[in-house]
């Protein structure tokens, strides 16, 4: 992650539940186009470390998110995390979370249409 994103994560002081949902949204964002590139995987790992997660935590959150997607759907997991964060984040945290998610989407430089659509949905639901 670049310095700006690291500083955002440190300043925003997310709760463990918020970290789970933010990381889950980042995972869903990278999966939205049907494939996670090596660069996206590296970005997710860096994000996890920036959020204070250990490698084991990252693995557990990833497995938990994958399980939730299999049991419901990608759309349901996205909706649940978006709603949970919307009701718990302060305006500053929400703005920072959107910036972090945009950074994740741009990790491959060009944002695929499905990821772009999800970013637009996040922007619409989390209007400032």
CATH label of the domain that carries residue 20: 1.10.3680.10
- Mean pLDDT for the stretch of residues 1-19: 71
- Mean pLDDT for the stretch of residues 117-123: 89
**Neighbour-count burial of 36, counting CB atoms closer than 10 A to its CB (0-12 exposed, 13-18 middle, 19+ buried):** middle
Tracing tokens 């300043």 back to the chain, one arrives at 11
User: According to the model, what pLDDT value does residue 86 have?
Assistant: 94
- Count: domains in the chain: 1
Residue 104 is part of which domain span? 3-125
Q: What share of the chain is helix, strand, coil (3-state, %, to 5)?
A: 80, 0, 20
pLDDT tens digits, 41-76: 899 998 888 888 889 999 999 899 889 988 999 899
pLDDT confidence bin for 8, thresholds 50/70/90 = low
**Rounded to two decimals, what is the model's pTM?**
0.86
């Amino acid at each position: 992650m670049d310095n700006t994103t690291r500083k955002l994560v440190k300043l925003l002081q997310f709760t463990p539940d918020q970290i789970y949902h933010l990381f889950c949204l980042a995972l869903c964002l990278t999966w939205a186009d049907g494939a996670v590139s090596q660069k996206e995987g590296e970005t997710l790992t860096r994000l996890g470390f920036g959020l204070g997660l250990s490698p084991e935590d990252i693995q557990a959150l990833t497995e938990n998110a994958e399980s939730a997607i299999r049991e419901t759907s990608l759309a349901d997991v996205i909706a649940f995390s978006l709603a949970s964060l919307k009701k718990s984040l302060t305006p500053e945290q929400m703005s920072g979370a959107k910036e972090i998610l945009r950074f994740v989407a741009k990790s491959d430089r060009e944002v695929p249409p499905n990821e772009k659509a999800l970013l637009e949905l996040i922007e619409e639901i989390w209007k400032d």
